[in-house]
Amino acid sequence: MSVGAPKLSGILGVFFVKFYTREGNFDLVGNNFPVFFIRDGMKFPDMVHALKPNPKSHIQENWRILDFFSHHPESLHMFTFLFDDIGIPQDYRHMDGSGVNTYTLINKAGKAHYVKFHWRPTCGVKSLLEDEAIRVGGSNHSHATQDLYDSIAAGNYPEWKLFIQIIDPDHEDKFDFDPLDVTKTWPEDILPLMPVGRMVLNKNVDNFFAENEQLAFCPGVIVPGVYYSDDKLLQTRVFSYSDTQRHRLGPNYLLLPANAPKCAHHNNHHEGFMNFMHRDEEVNYFPSRFDPVRHAETYPIPPNICRGKREKCIIEKENNFKQPGERYRSFTPERQDRFIQRWVEALSDPRVTHEIRSIWVSYWSQADKSLGQKLATRLNVRPSI
């Protein structure tokens, strides 16, 4: 699954990992960038429509994407990844992964910490610039898959280290950004990456369809010790992914070997289309004194005290421009020039109206004044601020 094309100056690659633990499965369902375009899950379907091909021509077009996101300045940070050099990974081995959303980890005593997960490839991150991407992708359509398959087959196992960043929920309000806002990164200088594990891909799948195509992920699939947070995008992803899997693979998709937990597991949900679990019990409800199924050992989940009105509104600390500006300024001058060039090309699309072009120039000016000025000059737009 991926969206994006060289014409869009970047590729959003999903980075999903399924942990088959002794207590059931934990799905870490993220992508190759640490942030996301939007923070409100209600906008997810429209965002996907804008990124997908034009429904009339079936061509993916920048004007539709830039039109939609011109309403969403919170997307700027994500675009500093997508339109950056790292927007086109060299292959799957040289790519970061990120859990993207904020989760909660709870220790035995019940103490909760907000956490972000990060995968870092031990062979480093490598990207393709446009001319390389056109050459490599143009002559060798499956190059990234072949690179991964061949590396594993040759015993040159791809490896990622897993890091976490943590925030004490009591400190949630201490920052100039909202730590549960998925359009923000947590600055590594104050919230350092802590190593907690590694992943080695030491075996290729034998059957791509059974072990890859039919894999189903959902951020709602967690194990004791891991919990969600009030990250608003996570809250919708927790539901929407399983709905998709039931539609895509059928209601019994969790029975498929790739998706079933590898530990003893039992619940009394069954039947529906394509149920291939043969059971002969007479009790299919819970609890029952005739049934040996018992509650699992209880584990603490963080208490959540909510006071106030439940309403649909914009978050208090939007802070849409600071982190994108900082990221842009961290690039070398050559990298900044390539970033500008990609924006000039995208905004030069004749179907991007003058209004949309001005809005983007204004957004980038608010992130970084000189970036806005350079875009304004190149595009012949008057900066609006």
Ligand X SMILES: *[C@@H]1O[C@H](CO)[C@@H](O)[C@H](O)[C@H]1NC(C)=O
Q: Which of 143, 161, 322, 335 binds ligand X (CB under 6 A)?
A: 143
Can you tell me the distance from the alpha carbon of 70 to that of 58, in angstroms, rounded to the nearest whole number? Answer: 22
Binding track over 83-122 against ligand X, x by CB under 6 A: ----------------------------------------
Q: Return the number of the residue (135 or 351) whose C-beta is nearest ligand X.
A: 135
Q: Which of 107, 146, 156, 377 binds ligand X (CB under 6 A)?
A: 146
Can you tell me the distance from the alpha carbon of 113 to that of 105, in angstroms, rounded to the nearest whole number? Answer: 5
Q: How far is the CB of 151 from ligand X (least distance, A)?
A: 9
Q: Return the number of the residue (132 or 150) whose C-beta is nearest ligand X.
A: 150
- Rounded to whole angstroms, what are the CA distances from 324 to 4, 35, 347, 362? 20, 11, 18, 13
Q: How far is the CB of 205 from ligand X (least distance, A)?
A: 18
Stretch that binds ligand X, among 99-107, 138-146, 188-196, 219-227 (CB under 6 A): 138-146
Structure tokens at 104: 């909660």
One-letter identity of residue 203: K
One-letter identity of residue 191: L
Can you tell me the distance from the alpha carbon of 177 to that of 225, in angstroms, rounded to the nearest whole number? Answer: 26
Identify the burial level of 251 via C-beta atoms within 10 angstroms of its C-beta, where 0-12 means exposed, 13-18 middle and 19 or more buried.
middle
Structure tokens at 176: 């100039």
How is residue 209 annotated by DSSP?
Answer: I
Residue 132 is a binding residue for ligand X (CB under 6 A): no
C-alpha 230: how far from chain center:
16
**H-state helical runs in the chain:** 44-51, 62-69, 76-82, 130-139, 143-153, 208, 232-249, 322-329, 333-347, 354-367, 369-379
Q: Return the number of the residue (139 or 332) whose C-beta is nearest ligand X.
A: 139
Q: How far is the CB of 143 from ligand X (least distance, A)?
A: 4
Residue 156 is a binding residue for ligand X (CB under 6 A): no
Q: Return the number of the residue (32 or 151) whose C-beta is nearest ligand X.
A: 151
Q: How far is the CB of 136 from ligand X (least distance, A)?
A: 7
Q: Return the number of the residue (122 or 146) whose C-beta is nearest ligand X.
A: 146
Q: Return the number of the residue (136 or 255) whose C-beta is nearest ligand X.
A: 136
* 287 preceded by a cis bond (ω within 30 of 0): yes
Q: How far is the CB of 325 from ligand X (least distance, A)?
A: 36
Q: Return the number of the residue (107 or 140) whose C-beta is nearest ligand X.
A: 140
β-sheet bridge partners, residue 15: 30
Residue 204 is a binding residue for ligand X (CB under 6 A): no
Considering CB under 6 A, how many residues would be counted as binding ligand X?
6
- DSSP, collapsed to helix, strand or coil, labels residue 169 as helix
Residue 147 is a binding residue for ligand X (CB under 6 A): yes
Residue 46 is a binding residue for ligand X (CB under 6 A): no
Binding site for ligand X (CB under 6 A): 139-140, 143, 146-147, 150
